[in-house]
């Protein structure tokens, strides 16, 4: 049987199953004249030094200061791979995804956003995405909310560690014009261990 959606456009309907549960079917999103779905991937070629200090910014993405859209982050992914193993009983570090504003981090390798569907929306209004194994320059950058915190394990055998944060619609991390998100240490990395990292950020603009 069918059911009309109250308040919907003329001719719009919805299907229900035998138990009258509404059936939904996902289709391609319409982002309008501005916006779209994007991802960016990166990871420096260099090795992160042992005992990297807390408060070191390794990667950053910033929305344009004059942007007419907002950024809705849907997924954060990072892989940490051990290059030089740590010592027995070494202390783990911690790395976070954190909001920043007021200025754009500089230095490192610039990354280009990939548009997931070229038939919808328009070009991204992101103004910067870059990473560096030592530290990005963060002059005048103000760091605010911490969204996710993950361990930098002290590994005595060598390994890779993967962290994925998937965000539903009511959990999206929202960046207004001029806001950004960065990958930043909050606890110093293990004292003798070196490592590399790769990351991917997925988002919508609308």
Q: What is the pLDDT of residues 62-116, one digit of tens each?
A: 999 999 999 999 999 999 999 999 999 999 999 999 999 999 999 999 999 999 9
CA–CA gap between residue 51 and residue 42 (Å, rounded): 22
Beta-strand (E) ranges in the chain? 2-4, 13-16, 22-23, 36-42, 57-63, 71-84, 93-101, 109-110, 114-115, 126-131, 142-152, 160-166, 173-175, 180-187, 194-205
CA distance 197 to 81: 6
pLDDT-derived band at 139 (thresholds 50, 70, 90) equals very high
d(CA 130, CA 58): 8
Residue pLDDT, tens place only, 12-39: 566 777 787 877 765 556 666 788 999 9
Q: Is the pLDDT of residue 138 over 60?
A: yes
pLDDT at 167: 94
Q: Which residue has the tokens 């070009």?
A: 123
Q: What is the DSSP letter of 137?
A: B
Whole-number pLDDT of residue 29: 65
> Which tokens belong to 74?
């849907």
Residue 186 Rama label (left phi>0; alpha psi -120 to 50; beta): alpha
- In Å, how far from its chain's centre is CA 9? 35
What is residue 1's predicted lDDT score, i.e. its pLDDT?
46
Q: What pLDDT, on the 0 to 100 scale, is given for residue 14?
A: 65
């Amino acid at each position: 049987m069918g059911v009309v959606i109250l308040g919907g456009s003329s001719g719009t309907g919805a299907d229900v199953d035998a138990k009258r549960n509404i059936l939904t079917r996902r289709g391609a999103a319409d982002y309008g004249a501005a916006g779209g779905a994007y991802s960016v991937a990166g990871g420096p070629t260099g090795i992160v030094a042992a005992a990297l200090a807390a408060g070191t910014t390794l990667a950053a993405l910033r929305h344009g200061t004059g942007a007419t859209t907002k950024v809705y982050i849907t997924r954060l992914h990072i892989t940490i791979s051990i290059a030089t193993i740590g010592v027995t009983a070494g202390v783990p570090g911690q790395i976070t995804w954190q909001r920043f504003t007021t200025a754009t981090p500089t230095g490192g390798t610039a990354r280009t956003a990939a548009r997931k569907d070229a038939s919808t929306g328009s070009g991204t209004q992101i103004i910067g995405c870059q990473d560096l194994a030592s530290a990005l320059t963060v002059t005048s950058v103000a760091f605010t909310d911490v969204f996710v915190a993950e361990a930098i394990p002290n590994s005595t055998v060598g390994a890779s560690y993967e962290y994925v944060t998937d965000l539903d619609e009511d959990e999206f991390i929202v960046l207004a014009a001029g806001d950004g998100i960065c990958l930043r240490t909050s606890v110093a990395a293990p004292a003798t261990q070196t490592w590399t990292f790769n990351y991917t950020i997925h988002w919508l603009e609308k």
